[in-house]
Amino acid sequence: MDTAKTALGIELGSTRIKAVAIDGCHAPVSSGDYTWASSYEDGVWTYSLDEVWTGLKAALSGVEGRENVCAMGVSAMMHGYLAFDADWSLLTPFRTWQNTTTGPAAAELFGFNIPQRWSIAHLYQAILNEEEHVPQIAHITTLAGYVHYMLTGVNAVGVGEASGMFPIDSQILDYDAQMLEKFNALPAVRIQPWTLADILPRVLPAGADTGTLTEAGAALLDGLLSPGIPFAPPEGDAGTGMTATNAVAPRTGSVSAGTSIFSMVVLEKPLSRVYEEIDLVTTPAGAPAAMVHCNNCTNDTNAWAGVLREAAELFGAEPSTDELFTLLYKKSLDGEADCGGVTVCNYLGGEGVTHLDEGRPLVVRTPKSRFTLSNFFRAQLYSAMATLKIGMDILAAEGVAIDSLTGHGGLFKTPGVGQKYMAAACSAPVACMDTAGEGGPYGMALLAAYRVWKEEGETLEDYLSKRVFAGVSGTAVRPDWETAAGFNAYMERYKALLDVERRAVEVL
């Protein structure tokens, strides 16, 4: 391998579009980013596709040495719904994973847990709603799949990404044939001028040839990259998170914590039954994995941090963002293990795990609660993990073994804090690597590297464990009894508070 060459990972996340280049030793060497946000239009959470290209070019502009890129790949927030006609003209605004408007469709499908954010739930809901665009559909895909097609002309997604569109048969690494037949046989589907297999993207495993940057694709990027660069299969943020944390083998898992929070645990055997709280997806190599996905994580914490910043500014202090969050996270360690009786529900949006279509953030305490900054902020961080814990407790009851969890994302940036609470919540050691802050785009860069630098017959699991992460430094925190007992006490109040949350949604 030419050590001067780099592999490039791009990820279109919920709040940032980021590009990360890694060298032949798999170390990040340069990056660029662009900040964006979803908008709520006509009852739909969406992003402008025009801004996709503005953001990609801005992020790529920050990457130095672009002439050395020898492989690349695109990742993005998973799920959602992008529907196109035969000319790849968008038929309806992009519907993101944040939308919780597909309940009737999701409930009808298969006797298999189809979360509301999955592409197939969005499609079937559009059919049930008799939306005008449905008969015109020629392609449905994800955000990563769309960008990949525009850059390469190849309509395909990675198997992990595909598993958030439609159920996957891990034996053949393709869509489940029986479920395809069941869907096409539904009365409202039979009358459509297409069958589902015709409009879904092709499914490819990690390492597969998935096209190269075309002349037209390079032009979309204003020539920031040269045509001919090989692409890895596009993946979702779950798959790139697993890759970035070396969590693609059985008994390993990862937790990604930012705007949303989700865990991925690679399974040794199937679960005993279907759970609405657990998604069954795959790793980028196609191994079965259990996913607990929660829409709400740090948004409410971020809002409270903004309020506390305003208070500090009244006294002339101007803390940087990193300093503000670091000090608040560390202050939470001074709080009591059960947060002193302070309880927070952080739902700004709907939450599938607890069956809520909308959210109303709440802070609740009794007259006997110890309402201090440390207890309050500890309750904020517990709340960011509480819904995830509900799902992880289901996996524990199923006997799913987890030797280690690896965390990445903003919740883990302050060393030792998020890890301590997550270890207590999940009853498993939680590690963070030095590259944890890079998250998904770093994982996508590793998948791009695997595409061109793997040896014949080398699995993704071996590539990561033996060539990427062997000797990589990081820190692991094991659960401690006091914090675990306090978190469990907090969870009893939190579950009771959900009744208040449901009522708040009704009346406010």
Bridge partners (DSSP) listed for residue 72: 8, 231
SS3 sequence of 155-220? CEEEHHHHCCCCCEECCCCEECHHHHHHHHHCHHHHCCCCCHHHHCCEEECCCCCCCECCHHHHHH
Question: Under a CB-based contact definition with an 8 Å cutoff, are residues 124 and 187 in contact?
Answer: no
| Per-residue pLDDT, 144 | 98
276: Cβ contacts below 8 Å, ≥ 6 apart: 113, 352, 355
Bridge partners (DSSP) listed for residue 156: 202
Cα end-to-end span (Å), the chain:
60
Q: CA-CA distance, 190 to 349, in Å (whole number)?
A: 34
Rg (CA), the chain: 22
Number of other residues whose CB lies within 10 A of the CB of residue 53 = 16
In 3D space, the residue among 384, 390, 421, 426 whose CA is nearest the CA of residue 405 turns out to be 426
DSSP character string of 392-404? HHHHHHTT---SE
Place of tokens 């690597």: 433
Specify the 3-state DSSP secondary structure of 139.
strand
Residue 236 burial (C-beta neighbours within 10 Å; 0-12, 13-18, 19+): buried
For the whole model, what pTM was predicted? 0.85
Bridge partners (DSSP) listed for residue 425: none
| Beta strand 6-12 pairing with 69-76 | parallel
Q: With a cut of 70, list the residues of the chain below it in pLDDT.
A: 1-3, 434-438, 473-474
Q: CA-CA distance, 439 to 462, in Å (whole number)?
A: 20
Question: Under a CB-based contact definition with an 8 Å cutoff, are residues 401 and 251 in contact?
Answer: yes
| Per-residue pLDDT, 438 | 57
Question: Under a CB-based contact definition with an 8 Å cutoff, are residues 500 and 362 in contact?
Answer: yes
Longest Cα–Cα distance of the chain, Å, equals 67
Handedness of CA 408, 273, 98, 504 (dihedral sign): negative
Residue 463: DSSP 8-state: I
Residue 97: DSSP 8-state: T
Residue 273: DSSP 8-state: S
Q: CA-CA distance, 49 to 95, in Å (whole number)?
A: 11
Specify the 3-state DSSP secondary structure of 282.
strand
Question: Under a CB-based contact definition with an 8 Å cutoff, are residues 237 and 11 in contact?
Answer: yes
Q: What's the pLDDT tens digit per position in 281-307? A: 999 999 999 999 999 999 999 999 999
Rounded to whole angstroms, what are the CA distances from 28 to 162, 434, 444, 462?
27, 11, 12, 20
For 297-427, where are the alpha helices, taking DSSP H only? 299-314, 321-332, 373-397, 417-426
In 3D space, the residue among 174, 195, 68, 70 whose CA is nearest the CA of residue 127 turns out to be 195
Report helix angle 373-397 to 417-426, nearest 10. 40
Question: Under a CB-based contact definition with an 8 Å cutoff, are residues 52 and 58 in contact?
Answer: no
Q: CA-CA distance, 146 to 52, in Å (whole number)?
A: 10
What tokens were used for 390? 């509900």
Q: CA-CA distance, 112 to 322, in Å (whole number)?
A: 42
| Per-residue pLDDT, 504 | 97
| Per-residue pLDDT, 476 | 86
Question: Under a CB-based contact definition with an 8 Å cutoff, are residues 448 and 284 in contact?
Answer: no
| Per-residue pLDDT, 110 | 75
Helix, strand, coil percentages (3-state) for the chain, rounded to 5, are 40, 20, 40
| Per-residue pLDDT, 146 | 98
Question: Under a CB-based contact definition with an 8 Å cutoff, are residues 134 and 209 in contact?
Answer: no
Residue 284: DSSP 8-state: T
436: Cβ contacts below 8 Å, ≥ 6 apart: 244, 245, 406, 407, 408, 409, 412, 413, 474
SS3 sequence of 30-55? EEEEEECCCEEECCEEECCHHHHHHH
Question: Under a CB-based contact definition with an 8 Å cutoff, are residues 237 and 229 in contact?
Answer: no
281: Cβ contacts below 8 Å, ≥ 6 apart: 160, 163, 164, 168, 238, 264, 288, 289, 290, 291
| Per-residue pLDDT, 1 | 56
